[in-house]
Homo-oligomer: A and B are copies of this chain.
Protein backbone atom coordinates (compact mmCIF):
# COMPACT_ATOMS: atom_id res chain seq x y z
CA UNK A 1 0.00 0.00 0.00
CA UNK A 2 1.40 3.32 -1.10
CA UNK A 3 0.52 6.56 0.64
CA UNK A 4 -1.71 8.93 -1.32
CA UNK A 5 -0.44 12.49 -1.05
CA UNK A 6 -1.27 15.87 -2.50
CA UNK A 7 1.82 18.02 -2.81
CA UNK A 8 1.22 21.72 -2.10
CA UNK A 9 3.35 22.67 -5.13
CA UNK A 10 1.77 20.23 -7.54
CA UNK A 11 1.53 21.51 -11.12
CA UNK A 12 3.64 24.55 -10.40
CA UNK A 13 6.76 24.94 -12.59
CA UNK A 14 9.83 22.97 -11.57
CA UNK A 15 12.29 25.85 -12.02
CA UNK A 16 12.84 27.35 -8.53
CA UNK A 17 12.37 31.00 -9.50
CA UNK A 18 9.25 30.29 -11.51
CA UNK A 19 7.89 28.16 -8.69
CA UNK A 20 8.48 30.92 -6.17
CA UNK A 21 6.59 33.36 -8.38
CA UNK A 22 3.84 30.86 -9.16
CA UNK A 23 3.31 30.22 -5.44
CA UNK A 24 2.95 33.95 -4.87
CA UNK A 25 0.39 34.29 -7.65
CA UNK A 26 -1.48 31.14 -6.69
CA UNK A 27 -1.76 32.30 -3.08
CA UNK A 28 -3.83 35.24 -4.29
CA UNK A 29 -6.31 33.14 -6.27
CA UNK A 30 -6.43 29.76 -4.53
CA UNK A 31 -9.29 30.68 -2.26
CA UNK A 32 -11.28 33.04 -4.47
CA UNK A 33 -14.95 32.11 -4.90
CA UNK A 34 -15.73 29.82 -7.83
CA UNK A 35 -17.84 31.04 -10.73
CA UNK A 36 -19.19 28.22 -12.88
CA UNK A 37 -21.19 29.77 -15.71
CA UNK A 38 -21.36 26.69 -17.93
CA UNK A 39 -21.80 23.10 -16.77
CA UNK A 40 -23.96 20.04 -16.84
CA UNK A 41 -25.11 19.49 -13.29
CA UNK A 42 -28.47 18.06 -12.38
CA UNK A 43 -30.62 20.56 -10.49
CA UNK A 44 -32.21 17.67 -8.56
CA UNK A 45 -28.92 17.26 -6.71
CA UNK A 46 -29.57 20.49 -4.83
CA UNK A 47 -33.31 20.15 -4.56
CA UNK A 48 -32.96 16.76 -2.88
CA UNK A 49 -29.59 17.34 -1.24
CA UNK A 50 -29.16 13.61 -0.65
CA UNK A 51 -25.75 12.09 0.06
CA UNK A 52 -23.95 10.62 -2.94
CA UNK A 53 -24.82 6.95 -2.65
CA UNK A 54 -22.02 5.09 -4.23
CA UNK A 55 -18.35 5.83 -4.94
CA UNK A 56 -18.40 3.71 -8.09
CA UNK A 57 -21.23 5.70 -9.62
CA UNK A 58 -19.80 8.98 -8.42
CA UNK A 59 -16.21 8.51 -9.55
CA UNK A 60 -16.62 6.19 -12.52
CA UNK A 61 -20.00 5.46 -14.08
CA UNK A 62 -21.18 9.08 -14.10
CA UNK A 63 -17.81 10.42 -15.33
CA UNK A 64 -17.42 9.98 -19.07
CA UNK A 65 -13.71 10.83 -18.84
CA UNK A 66 -13.02 7.93 -16.50
CA UNK A 67 -15.36 5.59 -18.37
CA UNK A 68 -13.44 6.34 -21.52
CA UNK A 69 -10.01 5.68 -20.04
CA UNK A 70 -11.05 2.41 -18.43
CA UNK A 71 -12.84 1.31 -21.57
CA UNK A 72 -9.61 1.96 -23.48
CA UNK A 73 -7.93 -0.49 -21.11
CA UNK A 74 -10.34 -3.16 -22.24
CA UNK A 75 -12.93 -2.96 -19.47
CA UNK A 76 -16.38 -3.69 -20.98
CA UNK A 77 -19.06 -1.04 -20.48
CA UNK A 78 -21.05 -3.62 -18.54
CA UNK A 79 -18.26 -3.82 -15.97
CA UNK A 80 -18.31 -0.05 -15.65
CA UNK A 81 -21.97 -0.01 -14.65
CA UNK A 82 -22.96 1.87 -17.74
CA UNK A 83 -25.26 -0.81 -19.17
CA UNK A 84 -26.28 -4.24 -17.94
CA UNK A 85 -23.73 -6.97 -18.47
CA UNK A 86 -24.36 -9.45 -21.25
CA UNK A 87 -26.10 -11.74 -18.73
CA UNK A 88 -28.62 -9.00 -17.97
CA UNK A 89 -27.59 -8.09 -14.43
CA UNK A 90 -25.78 -4.90 -13.49
CA UNK A 91 -22.28 -4.80 -12.08
CA UNK A 92 -22.29 -3.91 -8.40
CA UNK A 93 -20.67 -0.71 -7.24
CA UNK A 94 -17.94 -2.71 -5.55
CA UNK A 95 -17.12 -4.51 -8.78
CA UNK A 96 -17.00 -1.27 -10.74
CA UNK A 97 -14.78 0.35 -8.13
CA UNK A 98 -12.36 -2.58 -8.41
CA UNK A 99 -11.93 -1.79 -12.07
CA UNK A 100 -10.70 1.71 -11.32
CA UNK A 101 -8.39 0.41 -8.60
CA UNK A 102 -6.97 -2.27 -10.89
CA UNK A 103 -6.33 0.19 -13.71
CA UNK A 104 -5.23 3.12 -11.54
CA UNK A 105 -1.78 3.06 -13.11
CA UNK A 106 -3.24 3.45 -16.60
CA UNK A 107 -4.56 6.88 -15.63
CA UNK A 108 -1.07 8.19 -14.90
CA UNK A 109 -0.47 11.52 -16.57
CA UNK A 110 -4.13 12.27 -17.31
CA UNK A 111 -6.12 15.11 -15.75
CA UNK A 112 -8.68 12.58 -14.51
CA UNK A 113 -6.03 11.12 -12.26
CA UNK A 114 -5.21 14.56 -10.87
CA UNK A 115 -8.85 15.36 -10.23
CA UNK A 116 -9.53 11.96 -8.63
CA UNK A 117 -6.49 12.25 -6.37
CA UNK A 118 -7.69 15.66 -5.28
CA UNK A 119 -11.25 14.48 -4.62
CA UNK A 120 -10.25 11.28 -2.85
CA UNK A 121 -7.65 12.96 -0.67
CA UNK A 122 -9.18 16.32 0.00
CA UNK A 123 -12.87 15.49 0.19
CA UNK A 124 -12.91 11.79 1.09
CA UNK A 125 -9.84 11.61 3.33
CA UNK A 126 -8.42 8.62 1.46
CA UNK A 127 -4.73 8.24 2.30
CA UNK A 128 -3.84 5.18 0.24
CA UNK A 129 -3.24 5.02 -3.50
CA UNK A 130 -6.07 2.97 -5.03
CA UNK A 131 -4.92 -0.54 -5.94
CA UNK A 132 -6.46 -3.92 -6.64
CA UNK A 133 -5.32 -5.17 -3.23
CA UNK A 134 -7.00 -2.45 -1.26
CA UNK A 135 -10.06 -2.01 -3.47
CA UNK A 136 -12.61 -3.47 -1.07
CA UNK A 137 -11.21 -1.58 1.85
CA UNK A 138 -11.24 1.76 0.05
CA UNK A 139 -14.71 1.03 -1.33
CA UNK A 140 -16.08 0.53 2.15
CA UNK A 141 -14.32 3.58 3.50
CA UNK A 142 -15.56 5.78 0.70
CA UNK A 143 -19.10 4.47 0.91
CA UNK A 144 -19.15 5.38 4.58
CA UNK A 145 -17.51 8.75 4.05
CA UNK A 146 -20.04 9.74 1.39
CA UNK A 147 -22.83 9.40 3.93
CA UNK A 148 -21.47 12.24 6.01
CA UNK A 149 -23.33 15.52 5.87
CA UNK A 150 -20.39 17.64 4.80
CA UNK A 151 -20.29 15.84 1.46
CA UNK A 152 -23.92 16.46 0.54
CA UNK A 153 -24.47 18.69 -2.52
CA UNK A 154 -25.36 21.87 -0.64
CA UNK A 155 -22.48 21.39 1.75
CA UNK A 156 -20.12 20.97 -1.19
CA UNK A 157 -21.52 24.16 -2.71
CA UNK A 158 -20.49 25.99 0.43
CA UNK A 159 -17.20 24.20 0.82
CA UNK A 160 -16.08 25.06 -2.72
CA UNK A 161 -16.95 28.70 -2.18
CA UNK A 162 -19.27 28.60 -5.16
CA UNK A 163 -20.65 31.92 -6.27
CA UNK A 164 -22.93 30.55 -8.94
CA UNK A 165 -23.54 27.26 -10.74
CA UNK A 166 -25.33 26.47 -13.98
CA UNK A 167 -27.18 23.68 -15.67
CA UNK A 168 -27.65 23.13 -19.40
CA UNK A 169 -31.26 22.83 -20.51
CA UNK A 170 -33.12 22.15 -23.74
CA UNK A 171 -35.23 24.96 -25.19
CA UNK A 172 -38.39 23.13 -24.18
CA UNK A 173 -37.44 22.61 -20.52
CA UNK A 174 -40.03 23.74 -17.97
CA UNK A 175 -37.34 24.69 -15.43
CA UNK A 176 -39.75 23.69 -12.68
CA UNK A 177 -36.98 22.28 -10.54
CA UNK A 178 -35.05 25.52 -10.90
CA UNK A 179 -38.08 27.44 -9.72
CA UNK A 180 -38.59 25.06 -6.82
CA UNK A 181 -35.00 25.47 -5.73
CA UNK A 182 -35.16 29.24 -6.05
CA UNK A 183 -38.23 29.26 -3.87
CA UNK A 184 -36.69 27.02 -1.25
CA UNK A 185 -35.84 29.37 1.64
CA UNK A 186 -33.21 26.95 2.95
CA UNK A 187 -31.22 27.15 -0.30
CA UNK A 188 -28.67 29.94 -0.15
CA UNK A 189 -26.88 29.36 -3.42
CA UNK A 190 -27.46 30.30 -7.03
CA UNK A 191 -28.14 27.74 -9.73
CA UNK A 192 -28.99 29.15 -13.14
CA UNK A 193 -30.30 27.44 -16.27
CA UNK A 194 -28.56 27.75 -19.63
CA UNK A 195 -30.48 27.86 -22.91
CA UNK A 196 -29.36 25.03 -25.21
CA UNK A 197 -31.72 24.84 -28.18
CA UNK A 198 -29.79 22.35 -30.38
CA UNK A 199 -32.75 19.98 -30.47
CA UNK A 200 -35.02 22.56 -32.09
CA UNK A 201 -32.40 24.15 -34.37
CA UNK A 202 -30.93 21.10 -36.08
CA UNK A 203 -33.26 19.38 -38.55
CA UNK A 204 -30.92 16.35 -38.40
CA UNK A 205 -31.62 15.91 -34.70
CA UNK A 206 -33.45 12.56 -34.31
CA UNK A 207 -36.29 14.18 -32.32
CA UNK A 208 -36.48 17.42 -34.30
CA UNK A 209 -40.13 17.08 -35.29
CA UNK A 210 -41.29 16.01 -31.83
CA UNK A 211 -39.24 18.82 -30.36
CA UNK A 212 -41.03 21.36 -32.55
CA UNK A 213 -44.38 20.08 -31.32
CA UNK A 214 -43.21 20.38 -27.73
CA UNK A 215 -41.82 23.84 -28.48
CA UNK A 216 -45.25 24.93 -29.72
CA UNK A 217 -46.83 23.56 -26.57
CA UNK A 218 -44.55 25.28 -24.06
CA UNK A 219 -44.40 28.57 -25.92
CA UNK A 220 -47.98 28.77 -27.04
CA UNK A 221 -46.70 29.75 -30.48
CA UNK A 222 -47.67 27.80 -33.57
CA UNK A 223 -44.46 26.24 -34.94
CA UNK A 224 -46.06 25.13 -38.17
CA UNK A 225 -44.94 28.42 -39.72
CA UNK A 226 -41.43 29.84 -39.74
CA UNK A 227 -42.71 33.04 -38.19
CA UNK A 228 -44.36 31.12 -35.35
CA UNK A 229 -41.18 29.08 -34.87
CA UNK A 230 -39.07 32.21 -34.49
CA UNK A 231 -41.61 33.69 -32.10
CA UNK A 232 -41.56 30.48 -30.07
CA UNK A 233 -37.78 30.65 -29.77
CA UNK A 234 -37.90 34.27 -28.71
CA UNK A 235 -40.52 33.38 -26.14
CA UNK A 236 -38.38 30.59 -24.73
CA UNK A 237 -35.38 32.89 -24.40
CA UNK A 238 -37.50 35.34 -22.39
CA UNK A 239 -38.74 32.44 -20.27
CA UNK A 240 -35.18 31.31 -19.59
CA UNK A 241 -34.15 34.83 -18.76
CA UNK A 242 -37.02 35.17 -16.31
CA UNK A 243 -35.63 32.01 -14.71
CA UNK A 244 -32.23 33.57 -14.33
CA UNK A 245 -30.48 32.38 -17.47
CA UNK A 246 -27.78 34.71 -18.76
CA UNK A 247 -26.34 32.51 -21.48
CA UNK A 248 -27.19 30.23 -24.37
CA UNK A 249 -25.12 27.39 -25.74
CA UNK A 250 -24.93 25.92 -29.21
CA UNK A 251 -23.46 22.61 -30.30
CA UNK A 252 -24.89 21.82 -33.71
CA UNK A 253 -22.59 20.81 -36.58
CA UNK A 254 -21.68 23.96 -38.46
CA UNK A 255 -20.16 24.75 -41.83
CA UNK A 256 -21.68 28.16 -42.59
CA UNK A 257 -23.41 31.08 -40.93
CA UNK A 258 -24.84 32.67 -44.05
CA UNK A 259 -28.34 34.11 -43.55
CA UNK A 260 -31.10 32.85 -45.78
CA UNK A 261 -33.53 35.34 -47.25
CA UNK A 262 -36.97 35.43 -45.61
CA UNK A 263 -38.59 33.31 -48.27
CA UNK A 264 -35.70 30.83 -48.40
CA UNK A 265 -35.84 30.42 -44.64
CA UNK A 266 -39.58 29.81 -44.78
CA UNK A 267 -39.25 27.26 -47.55
CA UNK A 268 -36.41 25.34 -45.93
CA UNK A 269 -38.16 25.39 -42.57
CA UNK A 270 -41.28 24.01 -44.14
CA UNK A 271 -39.31 21.11 -45.59
CA UNK A 272 -37.34 20.58 -42.38
CA UNK A 273 -40.38 20.48 -40.09
CA UNK A 274 -41.93 17.87 -42.34
CA UNK A 275 -38.77 15.78 -42.52
CA UNK A 276 -38.09 16.44 -46.17
CA UNK A 277 -35.01 18.71 -46.05
CA UNK A 278 -31.98 17.62 -48.05
CA UNK A 279 -28.52 17.42 -46.50
CA UNK A 280 -27.59 20.75 -48.06
CA UNK A 281 -30.77 22.35 -46.74
CA UNK A 282 -30.09 21.04 -43.24
CA UNK A 283 -26.63 22.61 -43.34
CA UNK A 284 -27.96 25.90 -44.67
CA UNK A 285 -30.71 25.97 -42.06
CA UNK A 286 -28.36 25.31 -39.17
CA UNK A 287 -26.15 28.17 -40.35
CA UNK A 288 -29.10 30.50 -40.79
CA UNK A 289 -30.49 29.67 -37.37
CA UNK A 290 -27.15 30.28 -35.69
CA UNK A 291 -27.30 33.72 -37.24
CA UNK A 292 -30.82 34.09 -35.83
CA UNK A 293 -29.55 33.09 -32.40
CA UNK A 294 -26.82 35.70 -32.70
CA UNK A 295 -29.41 38.28 -33.65
CA UNK A 296 -31.48 37.41 -30.59
CA UNK A 297 -28.39 37.44 -28.37
CA UNK A 298 -27.49 40.89 -29.62
CA UNK A 299 -31.02 41.98 -28.70
CA UNK A 300 -31.67 40.22 -25.41
CA UNK A 301 -28.10 40.20 -24.13
CA UNK A 302 -27.80 36.47 -23.48
CA UNK A 303 -24.19 35.41 -23.87
CA UNK A 304 -23.82 33.08 -26.84
CA UNK A 305 -21.57 30.05 -26.46
CA UNK A 306 -20.38 27.90 -29.33
CA UNK A 307 -19.19 24.31 -28.96
CA UNK A 308 -18.42 22.89 -32.39
CA UNK A 309 -16.13 20.29 -33.93
CA UNK A 310 -17.38 17.07 -32.33
CA UNK A 311 -18.66 13.88 -33.92
CA UNK A 312 -21.35 12.71 -31.49
CA UNK A 313 -22.12 9.04 -30.75
CA UNK A 314 -19.08 8.21 -32.80
CA UNK A 315 -18.87 4.50 -32.02
CA UNK A 316 -21.57 3.29 -34.35
CA UNK A 317 -21.65 -0.21 -32.88
CA UNK A 318 -22.26 1.09 -29.36
CA UNK A 319 -24.79 3.64 -30.56
CA UNK A 320 -26.69 0.87 -32.34
CA UNK A 321 -26.44 -1.51 -29.38
CA UNK A 322 -26.96 0.82 -26.43
CA UNK A 323 -28.57 3.95 -27.86
CA UNK A 324 -27.33 7.53 -27.71
CA UNK A 325 -24.65 8.92 -25.37
CA UNK A 326 -22.73 5.68 -24.87
CA UNK A 327 -20.72 5.84 -28.10
CA UNK A 328 -18.66 8.82 -26.92
CA UNK A 329 -17.76 11.91 -28.87
CA UNK A 330 -14.63 12.59 -30.94
CA UNK A 331 -13.12 15.86 -32.12
CA UNK A 332 -12.46 16.73 -35.71
CA UNK A 333 -10.86 19.69 -37.46
CA UNK A 334 -12.93 22.87 -37.66
CA UNK A 335 -12.70 26.12 -39.61
CA UNK A 336 -13.88 29.03 -37.49
CA UNK A 337 -12.47 31.66 -39.82
CA UNK A 338 -14.55 30.79 -42.85
CA UNK A 339 -17.59 29.37 -41.05
CA UNK A 340 -18.17 32.36 -38.81
CA UNK A 341 -17.32 35.18 -41.20
CA UNK A 342 -20.91 36.19 -42.03
CA UNK A 343 -22.10 36.02 -38.43
CA UNK A 344 -19.21 37.87 -36.83
CA UNK A 345 -19.19 40.51 -39.54
CA UNK A 346 -22.83 41.12 -38.70
CA UNK A 347 -22.80 41.03 -34.89
CA UNK A 348 -19.17 40.93 -33.74
CA UNK A 349 -19.04 44.72 -33.36
CA UNK A 350 -22.54 45.14 -31.89
CA UNK A 351 -22.92 46.60 -28.46
CA UNK A 352 -24.02 43.96 -26.04
CA UNK A 353 -23.24 40.99 -28.27
CA UNK A 354 -21.00 38.43 -26.64
CA UNK A 355 -19.95 35.12 -28.10
CA UNK A 356 -17.62 32.61 -26.45
CA UNK A 357 -15.74 30.23 -28.76
CA UNK A 358 -14.80 26.81 -27.39
CA UNK A 359 -12.63 24.41 -29.32
CA UNK A 360 -11.21 20.91 -29.09
CA UNK A 361 -9.08 21.49 -32.17
CA UNK A 362 -6.16 23.34 -30.67
CA UNK A 363 -4.74 24.31 -34.05
CA UNK A 364 -7.43 26.99 -34.04
CA UNK A 365 -5.98 28.84 -31.03
CA UNK A 366 -3.25 30.71 -32.84
CA UNK A 367 -4.75 30.49 -36.31
CA UNK A 368 -8.41 31.35 -35.78
CA UNK A 369 -9.71 31.96 -32.28
CA UNK A 370 -6.83 34.16 -31.19
CA UNK A 371 -7.10 36.37 -34.29
CA UNK A 372 -10.91 36.52 -34.04
CA UNK A 373 -11.07 37.57 -30.39
CA UNK A 374 -8.14 39.94 -30.88
CA UNK A 375 -10.30 41.99 -33.18
CA UNK A 376 -14.02 41.63 -32.50
CA UNK A 377 -15.08 43.25 -29.22
CA UNK A 378 -17.96 40.80 -28.90
CA UNK A 379 -15.86 37.64 -29.16
CA UNK A 380 -14.05 35.81 -26.38
CA UNK A 381 -11.95 32.66 -26.21
CA UNK A 382 -13.49 30.01 -24.02
CA UNK A 383 -11.22 27.97 -21.79
CA UNK A 384 -9.76 24.66 -22.96
CA UNK A 385 -12.63 22.31 -23.44
CA UNK A 386 -12.82 18.52 -23.10
CA UNK A 387 -9.64 16.72 -24.22
CA UNK A 388 -7.78 20.00 -23.80
CA UNK A 389 -8.65 20.63 -20.15
CA UNK A 390 -5.41 19.06 -18.96
CA UNK A 391 -2.51 21.02 -17.45
CA UNK A 392 -0.16 21.06 -20.43
CA UNK A 393 -2.94 21.61 -22.96
CA UNK A 394 -4.25 24.49 -20.82
CA UNK A 395 -0.79 25.98 -20.79
CA UNK A 396 -0.63 25.74 -24.56
CA UNK A 397 -3.94 27.58 -24.77
CA UNK A 398 -2.72 30.33 -22.45
CA UNK A 399 0.44 30.71 -24.48
CA UNK A 400 -1.21 30.75 -27.90
CA UNK A 401 -4.18 32.93 -26.99
CA UNK A 402 -2.41 35.19 -24.53
CA UNK A 403 0.16 36.32 -27.07
CA UNK A 404 -2.31 36.81 -29.90
CA UNK A 405 -5.22 38.40 -28.11
CA UNK A 406 -4.08 39.40 -24.64
CA UNK A 407 -5.15 37.50 -21.55
CA UNK A 408 -8.22 39.62 -21.01
CA UNK A 409 -9.86 38.15 -24.10
CA UNK A 410 -9.95 34.74 -22.42
CA UNK A 411 -13.17 34.13 -20.54
CA UNK A 412 -11.41 32.68 -17.54
CA UNK A 413 -11.82 29.10 -16.43
CA UNK A 414 -15.17 27.42 -17.09
CA UNK A 415 -15.32 23.89 -15.75
CA UNK A 416 -18.02 22.55 -18.07
CA UNK A 417 -18.36 19.63 -15.73
CA UNK A 418 -20.96 16.97 -15.06
CA UNK A 419 -19.44 16.36 -11.64
CA UNK A 420 -20.27 18.60 -8.70
CA UNK A 421 -17.82 16.58 -6.68
CA UNK A 422 -14.99 17.47 -9.08
CA UNK A 423 -15.56 21.21 -9.33
CA UNK A 424 -13.11 22.07 -6.58
CA UNK A 425 -10.41 19.90 -8.11
CA UNK A 426 -10.90 21.29 -11.59
CA UNK A 427 -10.66 24.90 -10.53
CA UNK A 428 -7.67 24.06 -8.36
CA UNK A 429 -5.85 22.57 -11.34
CA UNK A 430 -6.81 25.48 -13.62
CA UNK A 431 -5.67 28.06 -11.09
CA UNK A 432 -2.33 26.34 -10.61
CA UNK A 433 -1.78 26.22 -14.36
CA UNK A 434 -2.72 29.88 -14.68
CA UNK A 435 -0.28 30.81 -11.92
CA UNK A 436 2.48 28.77 -13.56
CA UNK A 437 1.92 30.34 -16.94
CA UNK A 438 2.00 33.87 -15.59
CA UNK A 439 4.99 33.09 -13.37
CA UNK A 440 7.03 32.29 -16.46
CA UNK A 441 6.11 35.63 -18.02
CA UNK A 442 7.25 37.35 -14.84
CA UNK A 443 10.45 35.30 -14.63
CA UNK A 444 11.23 36.24 -18.22
CA UNK A 445 10.60 39.91 -17.39
CA UNK A 446 7.66 40.13 -19.73
CA UNK A 447 5.25 41.21 -17.00
CA UNK A 448 5.68 42.66 -13.50
CA UNK A 449 4.47 40.42 -10.70
CA UNK A 450 1.70 42.73 -9.53
CA UNK A 451 0.21 42.93 -13.00
CA UNK A 452 0.45 39.16 -13.41
CA UNK A 453 -1.36 38.68 -10.11
CA UNK A 454 -4.13 41.01 -11.21
CA UNK A 455 -4.49 39.06 -14.46
CA UNK A 456 -4.71 35.84 -12.46
CA UNK A 457 -7.50 37.22 -10.30
CA UNK A 458 -9.30 38.31 -13.44
CA UNK A 459 -8.94 34.88 -14.99
CA UNK A 460 -9.91 32.93 -11.89
CA UNK A 461 -12.85 34.99 -10.77
CA UNK A 462 -13.64 38.49 -12.01
CA UNK A 463 -13.81 37.97 -15.74
CA UNK A 464 -16.08 34.92 -15.90
CA UNK A 465 -18.38 36.70 -13.45
CA UNK A 466 -18.52 39.84 -15.52
CA UNK A 467 -18.52 38.25 -18.98
CA UNK A 468 -21.24 35.73 -18.30
CA UNK A 469 -23.22 38.37 -16.39
CA UNK A 470 -23.52 36.18 -13.30
Residues of A with Cβ closer than 8 Å to B? 2, 7, 9-18, 68-69, 71-74, 105-111, 114, 311, 314-318, 327-328, 330-333, 335, 337-338, 341-342, 344-346, 348-349, 360-363, 366-368, 370-377, 379, 387-388, 390-393, 399-400, 402-409, 440-441, 443-448, 451, 454-455
Contacts and interface: CB of A to CB of B under 8 A. Distances in A.
A71 B392 contact: no
Contacts of A391: 403, 444, 446
A448 B261 CA distance: 61
Which residue, A114, A328, A345, A372, has most C-beta atoms of chain B within 10 A? A345
A468 to B, nearest CB: 17
Nearest to A380: B72
Contacts of A316: 341-342, 345-346
A403 B393 contact: yes
A14 B10 contact: no
Given A374-B72, A404-B390, A367 B317 contact: no
A68 to B, nearest CB: 5
Contacts of A9: 444-445
Nearest to A345: B316
Given A14-B17, A69-B405, A73-B377, 9 more contacts: A68-B374, A72-B373, A106-B408, A109-B446, A317-B345, A332-B338, A332-B367, A390-B403, A391-B444
Given A69-B406, A109-B447, A367-B363, A348 B315 contact: yes
A406 B103 CA distance: 11
Contact of A451 (B108, B362, B440, B454): B108
Nearest to A347: B317
Nearest to A371: B330
Contact of A377 (B18, B74, B348, B393): B74
B375 A328 contact: yes
A349 B404 contact: no
Contact of A349 (B315, B361, B387, B444): B315
Contact of A317 (B16, B346, B399): B346
A387 B370 CA distance: 8
A338 B311 contact: yes
A335 B311 CA distance: 12
A330 B368 contact: yes
A398 B67 CA distance: 22
Given A317-B346, A444-B11, A331 B371 contact: yes
A366 B393 contact: yes
Contacts of A68: 374-375
27 contacts: A2-B448, A13-B444, A14-B444, A69-B405, A71-B376, A71-B377, A72-B374, A72-B405, A73-B408, A74-B377, A109-B403, A109-B406, A109-B455, A110-B406, A114-B446, A316-B342, A317-B346, A318-B345, A327-B345, A330-B368, A330-B375, A331-B337, A332-B367, A360-B367, A361-B363, A361-B367, A362-B363
Contacts of A368: 330-332
Contacts of A448: 2
Contacts of A71: 375-377
A449 to B, nearest CB: 12
Which residue, A72, A74, A377, A455, has most C-beta atoms of chain B within 10 A? A72
Contacts of A106: 406, 408-409
A107 B332 contact: no
A137 to B, nearest CB: 21
Given A109-B407, A400-B393, A404-B110, A341 B311 contact: yes
Q: Please give me the 8 A-B residue pairs with the lowest Cβ-Cβ distance, nearest first.
A: A14-B443, A7-B445, A316-B345, A390-B403, A10-B445, A74-B377, A109-B402, A332-B337
Nearest to A365: B362
B317 A349 contact: yes
